[in-house]
Amino acid sequence: MDNKGPVDVRIIVEGASDVESVSRALQRVSLGAKYHITISSIVPTTSLEIALRAVEGADIVLIATDVDQTGRELADKFREALRGHVGHIERMKLPYGHDVEYLDPDLIREEIENAIIRAGLQTLTGIRSLSDMKERLGECQKKLDEAIAENTALRDENTRLQDEVEAGNERIESLRGELNQLEEKFRLLEEEYSKLETRFSELEDKELLETFSITDLWRETFGEEPDDLERIYFVTDHIKPEGIILGQGSIAAPSRDDAVEWLRIIKSALVFTEKDEESS
């Protein structure tokens, strides 16, 4: 047995006489047992505001108006005003120009039942549509879940790629720094190579020099030991003879004779220097 409450049906009529006609008709049918519904109120009004307050929350609203144009227009106004405030709206037509005293209640009862049946059939259609909508909603939800999962995966992949790009950029910056260092080293090596090349070119242009021990050559030439090699270096550096190089206890010259000749010049210079120092 259905434990849900009966369907709440409310009827809007145009006037008090219509309330009496509808009430008499309802006495001839047990709607609760037959359709599991209850007529909770019959509202006599042509006011949209009153009707809205009276039927708010009803499952089904029957709008009972005359079959003439005025009744049809009134029913349309009620239908438009009540849409969205009640479960379902159905019009039932009352005989035009009817007299309550002589009107057959069975005609109104039949119209009420037909209106309820129409409402039920449309509700079933709505239920099927709702079922279809739920099914489509389920499919849409499934697609949405799949799209969300795909979007999450893409977001994770994008994050991973961004991390890789960032790491790549850091590596590029590091390599750029190393490249700058290598370019600087290469520049210095080029400068050093240029200097060596120039020096080598200068050496190629010069005659090959022979190297002799200053002490040995001095002893052989003058029969004595040289007093101070530093003074010999000093005089040589001051005069800068071409083709003569002194250093590290040695003298380099084109020949032995050239080396001896230069040592004689040095000795003479040292003798004059010593005399100047003594006289001063």
3-state SS class at 212: strand
Q: Is residue 261 over pLDDT 90?
A: yes
pLDDT-based confidence at 42, cuts 50/70/90? very high
* Per-residue confidence (pLDDT) for residue 280, from 0 to 100: 59
pLDDT-based confidence at 2, cuts 50/70/90? very low
pLDDT-based confidence at 109, cuts 50/70/90? confident
212 in Cβ contact with 256 (< 8 Å): yes
* Per-residue confidence (pLDDT) for residue 257, from 0 to 100: 94
* Per-residue confidence (pLDDT) for residue 132, from 0 to 100: 75
CATH of domain 7-128: 3.40.50.140
* Per-residue confidence (pLDDT) for residue 1, from 0 to 100: 39
Dump pLDDT digits (tens) for 93-106.
887 655 445 567 88
- Residues 6 or more apart whose CB falls under 8 angstroms from that of 223 comprise none
* Per-residue confidence (pLDDT) for residue 276, from 0 to 100: 63
3-state SS class at 230: helix
* Per-residue confidence (pLDDT) for residue 201, from 0 to 100: 63
Residue with tokens 């509808």: 22
* Per-residue confidence (pLDDT) for residue 272, from 0 to 100: 81
Name the pairing type of β-strands 88-94 and 60-66. parallel
210 in Cβ contact with 260 (< 8 Å): no
Residue with tokens 């007529």: 39
Whole-angstrom Cα Rg for the chain: 62
Report the distance separating Cα 81 and Cα 75, nearest Å: 10
Report the distance separating Cα 274 and Cα 279, nearest Å: 9
State the average pLDDT for the chain: 84
What residue type is assigned to position 128 of the chain? Answer: R
Q: Is residue 5 over pLDDT 90?
A: no
Dump pLDDT digits (tens) for 193-206.
887 677 656 555 55
Report the distance separating Cα 216 and Cα 223, nearest Å: 10
Dump pLDDT digits (tens) for 62-108.
999 888 888 899 999 999 999 888 888 999 888 765 544 556 788 88
Mean pLDDT of 223-230: 89
Residue with tokens 């227009």: 73
